[in-house]
Amino acid sequence: MEKLVVLTGAGISAESGLKTFRDSDGLWEGYNIEDVATPEAWQRNPALVQEFYNERRKSVLEAKPNTAHFALARLEEKYEVTIITQNIDDLHERAGSTNVIHLHGIITRSQSSINPELTYPINGWQIGMDEVCELGSPLRAHVVWFGEAVPMIETAARICSRAELFILVGTSLAVYPAAGLINYVGPRVPKYIVDPKIPEASVRGPVMKIQEKATIGVPELVDRLLNK
């Protein structure tokens, strides 16, 4: 089976009703990023940060996968598929994709605030301020904040370097290091970009651009790939 790698960004989740943090006003759900998505914010006001992610988690659990998520899951009928996502929701998994790498963590799990490798499932949508890990430190959302390392980036780069087909969906290629992953894909590998606004990044080799939102462009592309 051909190795097919998909890199997804906020655009695919936005169509399920989840707002992106890169709104035009620079706010995420009315909050400044510096107040809710950095280690310094957690040190200053952990209760605010916890409340913010609890509300985001509730929104994620209420959201449903869309036709683009389900279409990507269908690719496993014919290809060895790895989805690398910048998104912190679990919509790919709920749509049926079985091999998903979350570059920026996944909000439906918690993690130790002193050891990010200690992660736990969350019962419901809230993490309480009194909940602690096995080391006794408070639990926080299992997401990568601005200023923190992206632990899965090397694994993702290695997977991209082995891709035989590559699809980019719903990302502006503006957030690094994730945006640099496309540079690891071989120059002769066929690449497909699905987005209403095709990013202007220089991409080596053959590229097919599908200037549509994910729920329209992705099912069309998947049908084409499954029937070729």
Split the chain (228 residues) into runs of 10 and give each run's mean pLDDT: 96 89 61 90 97 95 98 98 97 98 96 95 95 96 94 96 96 77 94 87 80 96 94
Residue 163 and residue 97 share a domain: yes
pLDDT of residue 39: 96
Domain-terminating residue out of 96, 126, 143: 143
pLDDT of residue 24: 53
55, 90: one domain: no
For this structure, is 69 an active site residue?
no
**Virtual CA dihedral for 156, 6, 103, 91, nearest 10 degrees?**
-150
Is 163 found in the same domain as 126?
no
Query: Do 82 and 180 fall within a single domain?
Result: yes
- Do 45 and 74 have their domain in common? no
Task: Please pick, among 69, 92, 102, 104, the residue that the annotation labels catalytic.
Answer: 104
Strand ranges, E, within 89-202:
100-102, 105-112, 119-121, 139-143, 165-169, 191-194
Q: How far apart are CA 106 and CA 95, in angstroms?
A: 15
> 127 and 55, same structural domain?
yes
The answer on 76 and 9 residing in a single domain is: yes
188 and 207 share one domain: yes
CATH number of the structural domain spanning residue 29: 3.30.1600.10
Tell me the CATH number at 80.
Answer: 3.40.50.1220
Helix (H) or strand (E) holding 3: strand 3-8
Q: Residue 177: is the preceding peptide bond cis (ω within 30°)?
A: yes
Range(s) of the domain holding residue 139: 20-62+106-143
Torsion of CA 12, 15, 20, 26, to 10 degrees: 120
113 & 1 share domain: no
Q: Based on the domain organization, do 71 and 129 belong to the same domain?
A: no
Identify the pLDDT of residue 13.
Answer: 95
Of 123, 143, 163, the last residue of a domain is 143
Residue where one domain finishes, among candidates 119, 143, 167: 143
Structurally, the chain folds into a number of domains equal to 2
